[in-house]
Structure 1
Amino acid sequence: MGLRVTLVAAARSSSRLAERFDDDRPLDQVGWDDVRLAAPSLIPLGAAELRYCSPTARSRDTGRALGYAPLAQPALRDCDMGSWRGYTLAEVAAQDPAAVDAWLGDPWAAPHGGEPLLSFITRIGGWLETRPTADGAIVAVAEPAVVRAALVYALQAPPLTYWNVDVRPLSTVTLTGRPRHWSLCLEAGALHAI
């Protein structure tokens, strides 16, 4: 059977256009309402032997609202955006479009002084690789960026594939296998879009 790691994208804490880099706001009212609507399909995932979450407020709120009682994992934190922290992508692009182009086009670039995309993907992959090797189930509520990074890592896709993965709040994806041997598992009802 192998290990099953189900990643649940945290509910929203702001509209997509208002999202700020490294934003650690709690869920907004729409996020709480979305959790309530998605709960019937997501609550059963809490039967996993191990339940984790990103250390962000919205990930912790989502996990608690679903009854997971998740353990915050520092390794599942969002990408460190350095000097861009607190700004929207539109604000940074208006201020320094060349830096944004470099960041989007080069996985080693870190014009913000934070974590390069490749380092972020590798860090999230390191978390996956250190999960128990025995059969079992894990659920982790994380920022959408963390879910994207985990998918790129697990599928051994080129790092810039990260930009082509859209992870919506409260969507889920399951990886099966064991460290260094992951497969993407798509099941009926496994992906949710809210």
Structure 2
Amino acid sequence: MRVVLAEDNALFRQGLARLLTDAGVTVSAEVGDATALLAAVAASSPDVVVVDVRMPPGYEVEGLEAAQRIRREHPSVGVLMLSHHIEAQHAIGLLGQDARGVGYLLKDRVTDVLELTDALRRVHAGATVIDPDVVLRLVGRPRRDGGLARLSQRERDVLALMAEGRSNHAISRLLHLSPKTVETHVRNIFLRLDLTATDDDHRRVLAVLTYLRS
């Protein structure tokens, strides 16, 4: 797996590059601003980019805007955003109309190289990976009834883990449910959210988008 790192803090960027290299990930470029990120993606065609939300020159949403552009212009490239703080609106802004191949993690997570490389692999495979703390913040918001009111508490638990990018097998293990029970909950979520019968991967993405935007 080839990764481009975009982070303005040189020490953090170099440390992250070393962690990933030691874990067997190929870091094809390390850059410090959004303009250099876009050039690196065009030049090296990475599998995934790791991008800080706030980058030079304004340290506002330059990284997020670059990530959104990458999603439009290079749809095969996965995007994993990093942030110091829980900024749920940035996670939602990154998702757009399709949450496949997108991740959003707090920077504290990257000290755990296994968690980071797992997130990169899942994003590369087309999954959605949302930091559990961001999911908790979203769960706590006042919510509109986007169909979610029809879900049972256990179905909401399953959907929250789906929003973190967890597979049915992982959900089964985390909630101590049988795989068949998880499959039943997932089917019920699709039905209660009125998601028409397309392939299950696509409906899974739509369910997560409904959850995050409601």
Normalised to the residue count of structure 2, the TM-score between the two structures is: 0.26
More helix by share: 2
Considering Cα pairs closer than 8 Å and 6+ residues apart, tell me whether 1 or 2 has the greater RCO.
Answer: 1
Normalised to the residue count of structure 1, the TM-score between the two structures is: 0.27
Larger Rg: 2
